[in-house]
Amino acid sequence: MRTSVSHPLQIDAFALATGQVGMTLCPGRKGRSLTGPAWDRDLATDVTALRAWGADIVVTLVDTDELSLLGCADLGDAVVRAGMEWFHIPFPDTKAPHDDWHLAWREISPRLHRALEEGGKVLVHCKAGLERTALVATLLQCERGERMEQALRRVTEARRHARLLPAQERWLSARLREDDLRRRRMRGAFFGGAMGDILGAEIEFWSLDQIRRRFPHGVVPITRDFTDDTQMTLFTAEGLLCGQVRGETRGIGTLEGPVHHAYLRWLLTQGEPAPITHIESFGLMLDPRMQKRRAPGMTCLSALSAAEYFGQQQRNVSKGCGSLMRSVPLPLFRRDREALISAQDISGLTHGHQTAADSCA
């Protein structure tokens, strides 16, 4: 019989960002083992070992029924009582995660990476601390830009028998390809929008005949400057990022306030005074490339200059394209009905007409 005394909890770790990822078997595990004598571990002793190692977050990949069979149904409560965060995101032993699992993973992954970036320690475990644990430890590295082969090698070097089963490796490869495609689409959306803005900057209000007379061989040479369309698109993305972080850290889920704050930072880059005095100075507004006035729309300027508080919806009757031009980032942060509502609310920060809101949605 192996106990927490005869076999103290072994935590194998590797560095990631400025923190560490630890891997181990299920704390408090009891019952038979395929690799040796049965386990009769003590949950309290093992949780104390987690705390002594310095774990800030514990990620459990074992489902509720499996925890009960292993004799550690109270694991989550014990971890929280010991002052650690607990995330329960299970998938079946010897299997690849199901589709819903990755949706749940996307909810917690930013919190794990933030802890690692702050020098924290994230502890991952399954039943034996091998296949499922290896998958998550590998995924964390790949999300930070590591190649899967190298990430797997680091896991195996840290925990000798940790490895992926073939189905799990196929799942991870497919998921990484999908995530890479999503990132490429995001870059393409921003880059394509900026290029279109640059191409059309000079000729935005010209007739087709004027364009053909001025550029009989195409719009060349191309100006290097994008307009307020691209500026506000980038500030929209920055505001959405700030809103997402605020939601994850403080539980405040609305996006209009952070995006409005971002727009007021943009307003300052245009040489206009901000109507709200406590505008934080950070991010894009400090980039010299943003410190240029590039034909900003009068509706945006007047609406933002009249703001009394963050998230205030305008009551004007403007239905121009000033809100549509900056809406590209919205579906990258919200989906389905949430995206529609956010698009309309963010449009309303400068354009009060329902037509403008509907065009963004």
The answer to whether 228 is a known ligand-binding residue is: yes
The answer to whether 227 is a known ligand-binding residue is: yes
Separation CA 103–CA 178 (nearest Å): 13
Q: Which amino acid is at 221?
A: P
The answer to whether 40 is a known ligand-binding residue is: no
Task: Enumerate the known binding-site residues for Mg(2+).
Answer: 227-229
Binding site: residue ranges?
Answer: 227-229
